[in-house]
Structure 1
Amino acid sequence: MDGVIVDTEYYDFQIQVEFITMHNPNHTFSDKDLVNLVGKSYEDLYSLLQKFLDYKLSVEEIERAFNYFSEQRYRKIDYQKLFRKDILFTLDYAKEHELALAVASSSKHQHILDVLEACNIKDYFDIINSGESLVQSKPNPEIYLRTLNELNISANECLAIEDSYYGIAASRSAGIKTIAYKEKRMNIDQSNADICAVDMLEVFNIIKQYSKKEL
């Protein structure tokens, strides 16, 4: 969802870097180091932030501080402005051709609902799964395996759209053909994806091609 349906992945990254700089103003981490934050599950994110803060705070302290910090920033977000509206072509096409749709996101469940409702697309989706409810979120494939099971389909009957290294790793580990939504602002490794698309219109055309043949 974040970084695919809405262009929030880069915004998340900026918040994380701002948080690190606030607590560790003299850090010397490079963009290559910091980009490892992108697409992390919450548990992994807090542990990585602890490293970037030179272990000055406990994981529990970081969780409380970062959640408060990010919530303040997210109150200012207009998801409609970050909504990749061209995804509506894919959503409408899927409903017209009776293709199942699911969100499988590492984000908190309420955050997922807030975004989908703000973009007026929640009712398109048959399944909404959050990594919040799993023992291990991405890059572990559990969220995709659960989603496949709930949709009652096999991995070779679907496509995943991802943008982060960890998301791509999760979907590919579940055996799902994966489209990477190309990210140009951050040096994210998307090489493990089957296909890379530059925008939602290209994603739509790829989905149309695959829906007409066996995945």
Structure 2
Amino acid sequence: MIKHILFDCDGVLIDTEIVAAEVVTDWLNSENVAIDIEEFIRDYTGKTFTDIINILKKKGSLSPDLDLSLVVPELDSEIRDNQRPIDGVWEMLDSLNTARSVVSNSAKDYVELALEKLKITHHFEGRIYSAEMVAKGKPDPGVYLLALEKLSVTRDEVLVVEDSVAGVVASKAAGLKTIGYLGGSHVRQGHGDQLLMAGVDALVQDHVALTHYLSEY
């Protein structure tokens, strides 16, 4: 029996994955990294900015001396200013009778601000689990394992809604049934196939379809 639903934030509740792709791609271009939005979406959606920058440092695309403590807050700030809901999110959340939490690679204060802007804070009652609370972000399962521990629920009692390959890899590594959400504006052709390859249990196209799926629990 499903007792709790764990929602990713970006790309599921708020439509910021495309904003993040635009902002970070522009910044990387300014640092002489040759990358476009489509490549960023394909290779980096769902990963933390810290992980993305460290990956590019290891590749030699960014200076190893780049100060993450300066760059990441600037990127976060620009994206926060452009947060917007995904169509149908209010109706979907209002339809639920099951307890729910947010499990995100984004910073906790970022998620809190997003929920406040969307006026959906009350749906989660402070239950926000962020990658900054664990050693590694998604695709590592740590943040999902933390949520299970804090919520005192078993794997069989949880359902996850994720939009990224990194998120699905993390949730499945934690042993959780996972729904792949395809309603974000960053989703491109073939993304559903990528989520299926990552192990997702089912796919939904938008919040109307997600509402119908979740009504069975």
The answer to whether TM tops 0.5 is yes
CA distance in 2 between partners of 1:155 and 1:132 (Å): 22
Closer, same or farther in 2 for the Cα pair 1:2/1:52, shift >3 Å? farther
Structure 1 residue 46: Cα displacement: 2.0
Q: 1:32-43 to 2 correspondence within 5 Å?
A: 32=39, 35-43=42-50
Q: 1:56-67 to 2 correspondence within 5 Å?
A: 56-59=63-66, 61-67=67-73
Query: Which residue type is aligned with residue 23 of structure 2?
Result: I
Q: How many residues align?
A: 201
Closer, same or farther in 2 for the Cα pair 1:129/1:56, shift >3 Å? same
Which structure's CA Rg is the greater one? 1
CA distance in 2 between partners of 1:87 and 1:75 (Å): 18
Q: Is the 8 A contact 1:105 1:131 kept in 2?
A: yes
- The CA RMSD measured in Å over matched residues stands at 2.4
- Secondary structure of the structure 2 residue equivalent to 1:159: strand
* Equivalent residue number for residue 107 of structure 1: 106
Between the aligned residues of both structures, percent identity stands at 25
CA distance in 1 between partners of 2:95 and 2:36 (Å): 44
CA distance in 1 between partners of 2:79 and 2:58 (Å): 24
Closer, same or farther in 2 for the Cα pair 1:197/1:169, shift >3 Å? same
CA distance in 1 between partners of 2:92 and 2:35 (Å): 42
Counterpart of 2:90 (choices 83, 88, 109) is: 88
Counterpart of 1:197 (choices 183, 190, 204) is: 204
CA distance in 2 between partners of 1:76 and 1:160 (Å): 27
Counterpart of 1:23 (choices 8, 31, 34) is: 31
Q: Is the 8 A contact 2:145 2:174 kept in 1?
A: yes
Structure 1 residue 91: Cα displacement: 2.0
- CA deviation profile, 1:44-73 (whole Å, cap 9, x unmatched): 1221243576233424x25523432452x3
- CA deviation profile, 1:59-118 (whole Å, cap 9, x unmatched): 4x25523432452x33642x3xx2125222332232xx3x21000001001101100000
Query: TM-score when scaled to structure 1?
Result: 0.82
CA distance in 2 between partners of 1:52 and 1:76 (Å): 30
The answer for unaligned runs of 5 or more in structure 1 is none
Closer, same or farther in 2 for the Cα pair 1:184/1:198, shift >3 Å? same
- Secondary structure of the structure 1 residue equivalent to 2:200: coil
Closer, same or farther in 2 for the Cα pair 1:6/1:52, shift >3 Å? farther
Q: Which has the higher contact order (CA 8 A, sep 6+)?
A: 2
1:13 aligns with 2:16: no
